[in-house]
Amino acid sequence: MSLHIKNAELVDSVAGKLTRADLFIDNGRIVGIGSAPKTFKATQTIDADGCSVMPGLIDCQTRLRDPGEPEKANIESETRAAIENGITTLCIPPDTQPPIDNSATVELIHHRNEMFGHQARVHPIGALTRGLAGEQLSNMASLKGNGCIAFSNAKSPLANNLVQRRAMDYAAGQHALVIIQPLDHDLLANGCAHEGAIATRLGLPSIPEAAETAALAKDIELVAQTGARTHFGQLSCARSVDMVRRAKAKGLPITADCAIHQLFLIDHDIGLFDSNMLTLPPLRSQYDRDALREGVADGSIDCLCSDHQPHEIDAKLKPFPSAEPGISGLDTLLALALRLVDEGVLPLADLLAKLTLNPATILGLAGGKIAPGEVADLIIVDLEAHWICSSANFVSKGKNTAFEGWDFRGRVTHTLIDGNLVFQS
């Protein structure tokens, strides 16, 4: 397909600016900005007047519940939710059922996406250990050869620090990225809320910030020891941001992300045991939320993710400590990012880099740029379209949102993947 997008406002995350120009796409690539190549002939034209053209979002932490949990979601439902909300690339952690610890599971995911998906790019993250049991290392070389873009043990603990060091050594030898969500499971215990006044008042078992920071301190030391390129996922504490900031200043090969809901919600939002506010890591204090925002602004936090965790209705109807943690985040990721722009955290082009350019660079993926020769994974967004968040209208199978009733702006009108128009509102 040869496509001409005219009257476009291009959001350039590389240059950090907005540019008004026509865009020309052929054979899945951007072939011209402003003017078309001499031999170019468009087979389709889209008038983007009044809208913005952006790189497709890259979500570096998305659970599709496939394979293994069809009652919650599947590749078909969640890839459709992704493309209708401007997300062209999804990175799925290895805690599927069965785990992504062998090539057969990787091939199954690719096959199911080809058969049932809605053309979004789905990239598996391989397991660090077999069965995520934390004891024997997985065959990372084979998993990488079959398309795993990084390695993680998700939220499952490793048996000890020696296993973790060997895993990081192995990954470093494969020039592979290690993704760690820092959790000290002994300190985590059976907690479900941030350790503070709210948990005390509600009588909820609490999770101290040390459950994250103690693990993170150990993880950073192992990065220094092994040299393994490491990405820390879903940070939630002010001290974590400062630790990453200082580690980066020392030149360690470290990057980090946080779930976008952590930039808006705090422990007070639990209210009277609202299980839609139950997350892991938990919603922290306002001080932590403000520090996370500062980390996003100064570059200590490189990426934002949805940490999408769709659930069936029953999973959230249990008493707060027994309910399953997680928020369905695909339908609100772009809208929350635009709200961060409105609240002055970062300008649009710089904020968008946290969802496009930066994850593409860290994970070694296509996309994230609007430039000649780049893959045409693009979205067209009406930034002035306002809507009220209602889970009943979610495209995702998961309706468990923490943002019911919020007033958002920004609607995706078109989504292109490899230059193909896969969604048009």
Q: How are beta strands 193-194 and 29-33 bridged, if at all?
A: unpaired
Q: Read off the tokens for 215.
A: 């693990």
Q: Give which of 259, 346, 264 is closest to 304, Cα–Cα.
A: 259
Q: Are 420 and 119 in contact (CB under 8 A)?
A: yes
405, with CB counted inside 10 A (0-12, 13-18, 19+), is exposed
**Cβ contacts of 17 within 8 Å, gap of 6 or more:** 349
The one catalytic residue in 307, 331, 377, 418 is 307
User: How far apart (Å, rounded) are the C-alpha atoms in residues 252 and 213?
Assistant: 17
Burial 322-337 (b: 16+ CB within 10 A, else e): ebbbbbbbbbbbbbbb
What is the spatial distance between Cα 370 and Cα 33, in angstroms, rounded to a whole number?
Answer: 9
Please spell the DSSP secondary structure of 218-280, one letter per residue: HHHHHHHHH---EEE-S---HHHHHHHHHHHHTT-SEEEEEEGGGGT--GGGGTTT-GGG--S
Q: Cα–Cα distance between 258 and 293 in angstroms, integer?
A: 10
59: which residues sit within 8 A by CB, 6+ positions away?
82, 87, 89, 90, 91, 305, 306, 308, 330, 333, 355, 359
Give the Cα separation of 411 and 409 in Å (integer): 7
Q: Residue 425 and residue 421: Cα distance in Å, rounded?
A: 11
CA distance linking residue 190 with residue 236, whole number of Å: 18
Q: Is residue 407 annotated as part of the catalytic site, yes or no?
A: no
Tell me the catalytic residues.
Answer: 307
